[in-house]
Structure 1
Amino acid sequence: MAIEEQVLKETALADLHKEVQVYHNRGFRLVQVSCSMVEDSFELSYSFDKDYHFESLRVMVPAGTTVKSISGIYWAAFIYENEIHDFFGLEFEGMSLDYNGTLFKTAKKFPFANVTFRGEEPCQKK
């Protein structure tokens, strides 16, 4: 059995809603939304599946930018968006259900917003 190549499509933030709508119209289900910090930006990955075919959209979001929620297209996305807000501090506009920063109780506000690894200094814009 051959291993299928996974599709990873990069898109602009302005095109995110249009691209997500295309996946919805083609019958894909939302699998997950993940977030990582890359220097002073957020890297959001939206993953979709249809008939065991997996594809992802990736968008870079500068810190301080508000992202339009996709929960109007995929209702359950509100849980991922609330989680990303609580852990990273990234703002989402128009979530179908907004916990206003209270989905998770954390010892530190936005604990993953400026993570260090193995004692390294936090990433700073140069």
Structure 2
Amino acid sequence: MTTMEIIPASPAGIEKVAADMKADGRRLVVITCTAAANDYDITYSFAKGNDLLHYRMTVPEGTSIPAIDASFGGAFVYENEIHDLYGFTFTNMALDFGGTFIRTSVPYPFKKKEAPAPTVTKVSKEDAS
């Protein structure tokens, strides 16, 4: 049977989480980012056999997050993607593409944008009838 657990995490503790997962013989499956209600959820998924552990941090825009590539070298791919698509900064990345890993027509296309103000259309009395 496959088990799955989601564990709260924080930017300050993510390097230790990664080191612990590596020491436990787990592999990094993926790092994902998605817009949440007011912030963003960044989830680190680790596996050992059929056992999945997901460490999730909910962070506001502009949060700097330590890179975990000291434990998982391939993490640079996910960290650069999240930087280029959402605008998060990962500190101490071994391979930092400086915003050129994914080419997009607009910077940070998945970053939340303020909703445009509603358009108010004036209707004259003649138009209303």
Match of 2:120 in 1: none
Matches within 5 A, 1:87-102: 87-102=85-100
Matches within 5 A, 1:1-126: 3-114=1-112, 121=115
Q: What is the SS of the residue equivalent to 2:3? A: coil
Give the deviation of 1:52 after TM superposition: 1.8
Unaligned runs of at least 5 residues, structure 1: none
Share of identical aligned residues, percent?
Answer: 32
State whether residues 3 and 50 of structure 2, in contact with CA within 8 Å, keep that contact through their aligned partners in structure 1.
no
Unaligned runs of at least 5 residues, structure 2: 117-129
State whether residues 35 and 42 of structure 1, in contact with CA within 8 Å, keep that contact through their aligned partners in structure 2.
yes
Give the deviation of 1:40 after TM superposition: 4.0
| Cα RMSD after superposing both structures | 1.8
| Residues 27-86 of structure 1, C-alpha deviations (whole Å, 9 max, x = no match) | 000000000122442211000111121111101122111111001111100000000000
**CA separation of 1:28 and 1:62: change in aligned 2, threshold 3 A:** same
Number of residue pairs matched? Answer: 116
> When the two structures are superposed, what TM-score results if normalisation uses the length of structure 1?
0.84
> When the two structures are superposed, what TM-score results if normalisation uses the length of structure 2?
0.82
